[in-house]
């Protein structure tokens, strides 16, 4: 069997070229390659075909003299590398190279010429691919130009009309005195102290400091173990079974009982299951709340008196509600903008946005403690279907905001990018230079710039909607 000779893979391929070469692999299997390469020059001929508003197909014809030059260049490289019985390295005749490595030559010629000429002619036609191109009808024959077709998606023509007439609801933000007092009481709860009680049993309103072990009654699921937790006897968040079986217990007592959990329990380990618990009471405690006075205010921070605390609470609640109302109003503006549009969206952009949404969701699940093996068991195809409609709306919104930004000449300054990088550096506790290098390497700076630009455009729509 003849040795298989392959040139080293070309470095520095763009994402587009790598995708195009991947598409070529299946086409190469069906192309017959003649061992002789006597070709004549012929000019490149390109004819774009519109198969939909976002899909194009290009027929490209690469001149025979270009194929010839590339072939001769490759043969020379093969001659330097080929090791064949009976020939010294570097002295294998070109005719032998053509004969022995015909398939390899064919593959390398196509990989060298097709991406180059496709990109060149797509640029000439003003076509910007946004999807992985699919190559078909690849033809490479003796004395003939290299011909192929490539289909791909392009950006749609996005028209925005009437966006300056959009109006957003801006409800008045109101914070009542009762809400401020409730928030102040929540602060008291956070600063509560617990003191041990001796020589009596647990009563309503007491707190039992306990250790517990729980086993699922059906044998399915993992056991539960907790040390030194506080259980409020009769508390609104306490399961009734704990109150019932711990009321009247003394420090040192141990109680055993079952607890059935509802299907909608927030802890998925417990939802719909019944656990058998063994609970040991370690101590009995009473909760004491600080008095609402100026001393309490000074303990909270740089406040002179309680009225300053109330004012800060009110301002915080107003700012939070204003932000929430603004966010909701902006969402409605974008929804109305999308509803008024009727352009076709490239499938590649939708799929890419689905990937973004899934990655974001899976990261959130991992952050919440879901194990990697459980994530791998999820039906990703079903999840993709469920994300599709929202992803489509998000892509449309992004394209529309980008078009409005062009109309209104909204740009992102280098200073804004620098602030974003500094914020990321502070959040991740890394140097800004390291963050910038990573973002540049990953091609993420443009995504950050586009995000900031969309946010500024949305701010513009919200302000002018008043």
Smallest Cα–Cα separation from 235: which of 207, 261, 263? 207
Dihedral, CA of residue 65, residue 68, residue 69 and residue 71, to nearest 10? 160
What pLDDT is attached to residue 38?
Answer: 26
- Averaged pLDDT in 10-residue chunks for the chain of 466 residues: 34 44 47 31 44 86 91 85 75 80 88 91 89 90 87 91 87 92 94 93 96 89 90 94 96 95 85 93 95 92 93 96 93 92 91 92 88 87 92 94 95 94 92 92 88 94 87
What pLDDT is attached to residue 459?
Answer: 94
What pLDDT is attached to residue 40?
Answer: 28
Q: Would you list the DSSP string of 367-393? A: HTT--HHHHHTS-HHHHHHHHHHHHHH
What tokens were used for 334? 């974008």
DSSP 343: -
Query: 314 with 308: CB under 8 angstroms?
Result: no
**Residue found under tokens 């609640």:** 317
What pLDDT is attached to residue 46?
Answer: 43
What pLDDT is attached to residue 49?
Answer: 61
State how far the Cα of 274 lies from the Cα of 215, in Å rounded to an integer: 8
Query: 250 with 201: CB under 8 angstroms?
Result: yes
State how far the Cα of 293 lies from the Cα of 306, in Å rounded to an integer: 6
What pLDDT is attached to residue 290?
Answer: 94
Query: 287 with 207: CB under 8 angstroms?
Result: yes
């Amino acid at each position: 069997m003849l040795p298989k000779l392959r040139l080293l893979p070309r470095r520095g391929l763009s994402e587009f070229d790598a995708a195009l070469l991947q598409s070529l692999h299946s086409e190469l299997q069906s192309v017959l390659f003649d061992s002789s390469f006597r070709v004549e020059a012929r000019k490149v001929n390109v004819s774009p075909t519109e198969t939909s508003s976002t899909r194009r197909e290009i027929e490209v014809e690469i001149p025979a003299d270009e194929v010839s030059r590339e072939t001769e260049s490759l043969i020379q490289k093969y001659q330097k590398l080929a090791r064949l019985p009976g020939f010294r390295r570097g002295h294998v005749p070109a005719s032998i190279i053509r004969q022995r490595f015909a398939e390899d030559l064919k593959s390398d010629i196509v990989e060298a010429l097709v991406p180059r000429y496709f990109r060149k002619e797509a640029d000439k036609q003003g076509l910007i691919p946004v999807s992985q191109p699919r190559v078909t009808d690849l033809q490479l024959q003796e004395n003939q130009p290299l011909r192929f077709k490539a289909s791909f998606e392009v950006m749609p023509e996005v028209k925005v009309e009437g966006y300056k007439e959009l109006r957003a609801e801006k409800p008045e933000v109101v914070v009542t005195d009762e809400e401020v007092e409730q928030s102040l009481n929540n602060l008291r709860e956070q600063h509560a102290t617990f003191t041990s009680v001796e020589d009596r049993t647990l009563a309503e309103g007491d707190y039992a400091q306990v250790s517990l072990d729980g086993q699922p009654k059906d044998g399915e699921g993992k056991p539960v173990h907790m040390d030194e937790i506080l259980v409020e006897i009769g508390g609104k968040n306490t399961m009734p079974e704990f109150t019932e079986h711990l009321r009247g217990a003394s420090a040192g007592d141990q109680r055993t009982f079952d607890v059935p959990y509802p299907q909608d329990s927030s802890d998925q380990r417990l939802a719909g299951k019944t656990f058998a618990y063994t609970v040991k009471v370690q101590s009995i405690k009473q909760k004491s709340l600080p008095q609402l006075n100026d001393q309490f205010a000074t303990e909270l921070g740089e406040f002179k008196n309680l009225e300053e605390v109330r004012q800060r609470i009110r301002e915080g609640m107003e700012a939070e509600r204003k932000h929430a109302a603004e966010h909701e109003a902006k969402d409605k503006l974008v929804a109305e903008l999308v509803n008024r549009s009727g352009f076709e969206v490239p499938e590649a952009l939708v799929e890419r946005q689905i990937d973004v949404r899934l990655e974001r969701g899976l990261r959130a699940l991992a952050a919440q403690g879901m194990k990697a093996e459980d994530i791998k068991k999820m039906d990703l195809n079903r999840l993709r279907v469920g994300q599709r409609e929202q992803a489509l709306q998000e892509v449309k919104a992004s394209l529309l905001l980008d078009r409005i930004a062009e109309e209104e000449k909204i740009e992102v300054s280098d200073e804004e990018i620098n602030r974003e990088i500094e914020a990321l550096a502070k959040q991740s506790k890394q140097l800004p230079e390291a963050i910038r290098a990573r973002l540049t390497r990953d091609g993420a700076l443009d995504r950050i710039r586009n995000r900031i630009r969309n946010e500024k455009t949305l701010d513009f729509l919200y302000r002018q909607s008043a």
